[in-house]
Amino acid sequence: SSGINAEWPLRPGHYLGPNRYTRDKYMTDNEVAQWAINLTLFHWGIHGWVVYAMVAIILGFLSFRKGMPMTMKSCFYPLIGDRIYGWIGDLIDVFSILTTLFGVCTSLGLGTMQVNNGLNYLNEDIAVSTTNQVIIIWCITAVATTSVVTGIGVGIRRLSE
């Protein structure tokens, strides 16, 4: 989510500069701007989400049609067969958990910096500092934990309203 909020709005400006697609000196500003939008949609558009869709389709098929566990090792069943139930499957699951953890931590860190800068923009008395960012992380973690502990009927529903 942080990538969508931080990177997506900046990309067209990045592509407005000189690059291999806009080198033509006869292009108008509107044509260069259109190329910038096209390149942004190419990098942040539907094909970027295909990876997630492929994993979801494979997991859904193998879980609901073949009765396999809904874990990442199940995605490798067509490739390595029953070896997913051994140490190789455990290694795949550990690797997927760690990469998910690192991805969540990255998003939380980037989002925290955005929130800290936004609060500083609204009120200059709130400094952009590591201490404030740690406080923001604790607040976000507390809200997320409370939401998960209270369940879908209460916590998640309140967050979505």
Q: How far apart are CA 24 and CA 16, in angstroms?
A: 13
Instruction: Provide the pLDDT for residue 122.
Output: 94
CA distance 39 to 108: 27
Q: Has residue 1 got a pLDDT over 80?
A: no
Residue bearing tokens 């409370």: 146
What are the two backbone dihedrals, phi and then psi, of residue 24, each rounded to the nearest 5 degrees? -60, 120
- Report residue 68's pLDDT band, with 50, 70 and 90 as the boundaries: very high
- Asked if 96 and 72 count as a contact pair (C-beta separation under 8 A), the reply is yes
pLDDT, averaged across the chain: 85
pLDDT digits (tens, 9 = 90+) for 110-158: 889 989 999 999 999 999 999 999 999 999 999 888 888 888 777 777 7
pLDDT tens digit string along 9-61?
Answer: 677 777 777 777 767 778 888 888 888 888 888 777 777 778 888 999 999 99
Which residue is it, tokens 């990442």? 72
Cα separation of 72 and 96, whole Å? Answer: 7
- Residues of the chain above pLDDT 70, percent: 93
The answer to whether 74 and 62 are in contact (CB under 8 A) is yes
